[in-house]
Amino acid sequence: MQTASEELTFSGLARPVWRDFLRARRALFIYEILFKLVEAWLLVPIVTLVLAIVMSQAGHVAVSNLDILGFALTPLGLLYAAIGGTVALGLVLLEQAGVMVLLALNDVAERPPVKKLLWRMVGSAWRVIQLGAFFLVVFAVTLLPLTLISFLTYKSLLSEHDIYYYLKVRPPVFWLAAGIGGILIVAMIVSAAWFYVRWSLALPILLFENQRPRTALRASRDRVRRMGWRFAVILLGWLAGVFLIGLATEAGFRLFAAVVLDKLGERPFVLIALLLAKAALLATVSFVLVVGIALITRQLYLHRNEQLGLAPKEEWGTVLRTPRPISPWNWRLAWLTLPLFLVAPLALWMTLSRYQTDRPPVLVTAHRGNARAAPENTLSAMRKAIESGADYAEMDGGAPARPRLEARGRRLQEAGRVNLR
């Protein structure tokens, strides 16, 4: 642990962060596996149900980006986005909270009983979810002007032709819209980073100081003040580093998979092995990201508190053993949520089995033709799609190119089934 007089640097945090990980690694591995299983139990059927609703509204088997966008702009879609965003962010914060509590327990000579620890988690869970909801609302309100500017830019510059026309031809208005879009994206990223750094200590403050969400956010803002740039370099540097490592891992796996498939062919056991290997890589990157950021955030919290003379480290055991009394409403909410937690996903999983037995036949559509064998949206790509055995071949060229492709492509309808849309 750095002393209060030492400079706050990433290299200075590396040693205590690594030491914390080594001491709690077994518990962290078990916790992450269990938490991911719980996430899958909750989220997979919910996402599948929403996709089924979108498909029923679209009226066909497959849904396009426009179908998803159309659903997202409906009142039901906006409600789902609000609830889904809150649940997703709440799960992320709960995962981080569990990691931080496990790390804090390793600093306690005598661990509290499991019952008290469960009380602690139940008492904090609702406040953690409130913290995520508050953060989401503030961020959404902040992004509202940028979203409005994006919509006006699209309507005024890119609504005259099909979007693929602008992507292929790239007239001057496309570059103007792209420049405005780039500025807006940068503004959104900067806003998200600013909020994240400003409120980065809110979760440990809420957990270890028994503060309410809004109080924890204000306390985090005050403690990060005058240290914002160092916090940003450390936290955002870690996130960016793991993201780049993930991209490099994905690129390396693609090359490896291409070589394996070229040598061994697309045999079932080869495909299953590659899928399992990719799942393991994704799980590893997720573990490094989640656990790493929790370890770093906790050390930043401890270091900043030492600088300000707050909450000495030896008091963590007392804090964990004597949590704030849990409100009766929290207990009622917990007892009401438990049946929903167990029964609702089970009902959705049983619904998925009906889709498994009554699903419509699967058809293969070559989007833009066989783009691997020939340039996309060309007659050659359409011919290659027919030769490869696709049920349909779809072209979606821009406005000037599309009539020529349709006129020349009608002759292919005699040779195969071509979907000209």
pLDDT digits (tens, 9 = 90+) for 252-289: 998 998 888 888 877 788 888 888 898 889 889 989 99
CA distance 133 to 140: 10
Q: Tell if the pTM clears 0.75, that is, is over it.
A: no
% of the chain at pLDDT higher than 90:
16
Q: Kindly report, residue by residue over 88-116, the tens digit of the pLDDT.
A: 888 888 888 888 888 887 766 555 555 55
Q: What is the token pair recorded at 195?
A: 């909020």
Q: Which stretch, 20-29, 344-353, 412-421, has highest mean pLDDT?
A: 20-29
pLDDT of residue 404: 43
Q: What is the structure's pLDDT at 39?
A: 79
* Span 52-69, average pLDDT: 63
CB-neighbour burial class of residue 201 (10 A; exposed 0-12, middle 13-18, buried 19+): buried
Confidence band (pLDDT; 50, 70, 90) for 201?
A: very high
Over residues 153-162, the mean pLDDT reads: 81
420 pLDDT band, cuts 50/70/90, is very low
Q: Give yes or no for residue 329 having a pLDDT over 50.
A: yes
